[in-house]
A and B are shown apart, each in its own frame.
Chain A
Amino acid sequence: MEYPKLSKNKGLFSAENLECIRNDRVLFSRLDFSLDPGEILHVEGENGSGKTSLLRILCGLSPPASGEIYWQGESVRKNRGRFLEKLAYIGHQAGIKGDLTPLENLALVLKLHPADSEPDLSEVLTHVGLQGHEDVPARTLSAGQRQRIALARLLLQKAVLWILDEPFTSLDVQGRAWLQDLLDRHLKKGGMIILTAHHLLESSLPVRKLCLNDY
C-alpha cells in the first residue's frame, strides 16, 4: 500500500514548481510556496504578471503548464471534491446573477456549497450591509454592493481556504475596514487566505508576500 507522500516542509496547502504560459509567453515558472493554517499570502506583481492566472490555477479552474498543487499533502487533481469543499473563490467576475435578488443569489450558493447548519440568509445580508436591498434585482445595485454580495459567500461557505482576486475593489472605506476585519478573524480561527490587492494590507497579523516578478 502506498501512502501519500508528505515531504517534511510541506504545508496544508502547497504548490510545487508551477509554471504558467499565456499566449506563448512564460508568465512565471518554478513557483513554489506552502501555506499553513492562520497564514495569509499576498500575491503581488505588475499588471499582466499573472496574478489572476495564478489564482485560477490554484483553484483548479485552469491547468498549469507544469507543476502540482497539494491539499493536505495530496494532489488536488486526484482529490478535487475534497479540496473544493474547503475552498471559496471570488474572482474578477463576482459570480452574481443580475436578474436575481441578493437573497436568491445566496440561496443558490448555499445549495452548491452545503454547510452543516443552514444560516439565516437575511442575517448574512445585514452583516454585509445590504439590509433593505434583499428583494431588488442585483443589477440595480452599485458595483460595491454587488461585491458585498459576493463577499457574503465567504460567510456562507464555511471554507478553510479563501482565494480572493482583488476583493477590495469598489468597496468604500467602511467596506474595506469591514473586509479587513473579516480576513483577520478568519486567520485567527485558523483559516488560510491567498489574495491579490493593489494596496498594502492593514492587517494586524503578519502578511506573507509573493512577488510574481521574481519568478
Chain B
Amino acid sequence: MASRPLSAFWAILRRDLLLAFRHRGELANPLLFFLMIVSLYPLGISPEPDLLRAIAPGAVWIAALLSALFSMENLFRGDFQDGTLEQIALSPQPLPLLLAAKILAHWLVSGLPMILMAPVLALLLSMPAAATWALVYTLALGTPLLSLIGAVGTALTVGLKRGGVLLTLLVMPLYIPILIFATNAVSAAAAGLPISGQLYFLAALLVLALTLSPLAIAAAVRISLG
C-alpha cells in the first residue's frame, strides 16, 4: 500500500519525460532563448573582458530567470486542455505528490540543461574559475526554486485565456530575492570572497519551497479546475 503513491509519482514523472522527449522542438526553445540572451551580451555591449566579467553574473542569471518563466507557461496547459489534469486531481493518490512529479520532470528538462550549459557561458563571458563554480552552485540551488515558485503561478493562471501577463506579474516579484542572492554570490566569488552565506540562504529557500509549494500548487490546481 505504501508504495502506491510513489509508483504513481514515478508514473507521472516517466510520462512527462516521455511527452517532453516526443516534443523535443518545444523543449529546445527556452534553452535556446537562454543561450541567445547570454551570447548577445558580448555582441551588444562590448567584447571587453573586464566589462564582461563585471556584468556576467547578472547576465547569466537574468537569462536563466526569463527562460525559466518562458518555459513555465506550458507546464499545466496541455494537461488542463485535454482533461488529464482533472483525472490526476481525481486520483485517490495525494495531489501535491503527483504535481511534484510534474515539476521534477519539468526541471529535469529545463533547469538541469541550464546548469550544464552554465560553464560554457561563463567561458564566453570570461568569468574566472571560482565564479564559474559559484554560478553552477547557485543555478543548482536556484533553478529548482524558479520551477517550484513558477509552478504556483502557472497553476493559478492555467484556466485563464491570457494568463501569460498575469503569470509574469505574479511570479517576477518572488523571483527577485533569488536573483539578488545568486548574482551576489557569483560576484563575491569572482572577488575571492566566501559565498557560503548566500548559498545557505538559497538552500534554505529551496527547502522551504520544496515543503510548501507542492501544497500551494495543489490548491491552485483545484481552484483552476473549479
Contact = CB atoms under 8 A, between A and B. Distances in A.
Contacts of A200: none
Nearest to B20: A99
A61 B90 contact: yes
B93 A95 contact: no
Contact of B82 (A62, A82, A85, A98): A98
Interface string B56-94: 000000000000000000000010011110111111110
Give the most central of A82, A108, A109: most B CB within 10 Å: A108
B23 interface: yes
B167 to A, nearest CB: 22
B86 A95 contact: yes
Nearest to A114: B4
Given A62-B226, A93-B81, A93-B83, A104 B90 contact: no
B199 interface: no
A91 B86 CA distance: 9
Given A63-B226, A100-B18, A87 B82 contact: no
B90 A93 contact: no
B15 A113 contact: no
A81 interface: yes
B36 interface: no
B7 A95 contact: no
Contact of B15 (A61, A85, A100): A100
A92 B15 contact: no
Interface string A62-102: 11000000000000000001101101010111111111100
Main secondary structure of the interface of B (DSSP, over half): helix
Contacts of A62: 225-226
Nearest to A85: B92
B205 interface: no
Interface residues of A, number: 29
Contacts of A6: none
Contacts of A84: 90-92
B162 interface: no
Interface in B1-60: 4, 7-8, 10-12, 15, 18-19, 22-23
B89 A112 contact: no
Contacts of B90: 59-61, 84, 87, 89
A81 B92 contact: yes
Nearest to B225: A61
A29 B23 CA distance: 45
Contacts of A96: 82-84
A107 B93 CA distance: 15
Contacts of A87: 90
Contacts of A112: 8, 11, 87-88, 91, 93, 98
Contacts of B89: 61
B90 to A, nearest CB: 6
A176 to B, nearest CB: 21
A8 interface: no
A95 B87 contact: yes
B226 A95 contact: no
A81 B4 CA distance: 13
A100 B22 CA distance: 9
Interface string A48-66: 0000000000011111000
15 contacts: A61-B90, A62-B225, A82-B92, A89-B87, A96-B82, A97-B78, A97-B84, A98-B82, A99-B19, A104-B15, A111-B11, A112-B8, A112-B11, A113-B91, A114-B8
Interface of A: 59-63, 81-82, 84-85, 87, 89, 91-100, 104, 107-109, 111-114
Given A84-B91, A93-B83, A111-B8, 4 more contacts: A92-B83, A99-B23, A100-B19, A111-B10
